[in-house]
Chain A
Amino acid sequence: MNPTRQRRLTLIIAVLVAVIVASALVVYALQQNMNYLFTPSQVQTGEATRYKSFRLGGMVKAGSIQRSNDSLKVTFTVVDASGAMPVEYIGILPDLFREDQSVIATGHMDGARFVATEVLAKHDETYMPKELKDAMAKAHDGKHIDESATPDKQSL
């Protein structure tokens, strides 16, 4: 390789390494405080107290959904592995919203309650026909499918 190309190669690799190191540091730093959401147990240990408004993520507890008869008000409980948080929301919920579904609610704390201004449904990365899901659910005796299919990923 001639000296000119050698010099260009060294220079470009040096710039590239600098950029990679810089972005790795940024990514590492952002991992601490660029969390899209807090789980109920994180909120209960006080990690979200410095935010007036934040996102709460978790599963909708089975049997906790209560709809008001005369308005769009809905209350439900969001749970994670070790915490639970009552949520209140007035508005239209996404189609995927139901029991045992991962949801992300944006809002603020009002005492021990979380008052949501927006509720989004999260779906997992598993795709299968309904018949297969029913058959697997039967085989697993009602165990939720994404826990059995993707043990390497937390269910949220």
Chain B
Amino acid sequence: MAKWIPLWLHKLSSPPVFYGFAGKLRPWAITLAILLGMAALYGGLVLAPPDYQQGDDYRIIFIHVPCAWMSLFIYGVMGIAAFIALVWRIKLAEVVAMASAPIGASFTFVTLVTGSLWGERMWGTWWTWDARLTSELVLLFLYLGVIALYHSFEDRRQGARTAAFLALIGIVNVPIVHFSVNWWNTLHQGSTIRLLGPSSIAPSMIWPLLTMMAATKFYYFASLFGRARTDLLSLESGKDWVRQIAENEVRP
């Protein structure tokens, strides 16, 4: 055991401990996701003023941009989990990586659909092969590839490790998606929110956007915890701790 990793982190990676931990946090994450999501929708669709250039059509930003951030964030989490799964063969890391893929794919799909609707209204086209749009589509295919590879093996742990390899290699696409608007001339506009320097969006519009970003994060954790719990139960179905849970369910 490496000395620099705290003991509680080692404990958390054991399936029964994580099962309990995720089960406790999940209701909180769901509640926060719903409350923040509703506040953000109200702020974005009702309170925020129309844009000077795009009128009311810009309001799709409150769905499109948080989903786009999540599509990259989840890929990052999946890539890191895949790396841990490949080197240390930790079962929980495999589960987290494989449970993240469908959630990330959904966010990517929503990003592409809402972006397409927005593009039709503002640019005048549903789709164009510029660098941002193309790299985001590649991201969707990477997610789908990871999901497909995972399910094409009889042995689930073997499938998880093979798919983790694809997930890890695909991580090079994440910076490409993010920087595509700076590296190439694209139809897609540049980043509005900057970590360094001022953001080019009015305060009355930025708070619903950031609230929605928090809501999507909580939704992801809630969904991930739920999926990881069921996966752990079926992977460890022969173990004592699972039998214990099953017996408690039968005889309350």
> Which of A's residues lie within 8 Å of B, judged by CB?
1, 5, 8-9, 12, 15-16, 19-20, 23, 27, 30-31, 34-37, 57, 93-97, 104, 118-134, 145, 149-150, 152-153, 156
Contact = CB atoms under 8 A, between A and B. Distances in A.
Given A127-B61, A129-B202, A134-B52, 16 more contacts: A5-B88, A15-B169, A23-B172, A23-B176, A31-B184, A94-B123, A95-B122, A96-B124, A119-B124, A121-B122, A121-B123, A122-B189, A123-B122, A124-B53, A126-B200, A129-B52
Contacts of A122: 123, 187, 189
A127 B51 contact: yes
Contact of B168 (A16, A34, A129): A16
B49 A126 contact: no
Nearest first, the 6 A-B pairs at minimum CB distance are A94-B124, A133-B52, A129-B49, A128-B202, A125-B189, A126-B200
**Mostly helix, strand, loop or mixed at chain A's interface?**
mixed
A131 B51 CA distance: 9
A47 B47 CA distance: 48
B185 A57 contact: yes
**Mostly helix, strand, loop or mixed at chain B's interface?**
loop
Contacts of B128: 120
Contacts of B88: 5
A78 B174 CA distance: 34
Interface of B: 2, 49-54, 58, 61, 83, 86-88, 121-125, 128, 130-131, 168-169, 172, 176, 183-187, 189-192, 197, 200-202, 204-205
Contacts of A57: 185
**Residue from A19, A57, A96, A145 with most neighbouring chain B CB atoms (10 Å):** A96
B50 A129 contact: yes
A99 B51 CA distance: 18
21 contacts: A8-B87, A27-B176, A34-B131, A35-B185, A95-B121, A96-B123, A96-B124, A120-B187, A122-B123, A123-B54, A124-B189, A125-B191, A126-B200, A127-B201, A127-B202, A129-B49, A129-B205, A131-B49, A133-B53, A149-B200, A150-B200
Contacts of B185: 35-37, 57, 156
Nearest to A30: B184
B189 A120 contact: no
A93 B53 CA distance: 16
Contacts of A95: 121-122, 124
Contact of B190 (A121, A125, A131, A145): A125
Contacts of B131: 34, 36
A14 to B, nearest CB: 12
A4 to B, nearest CB: 9
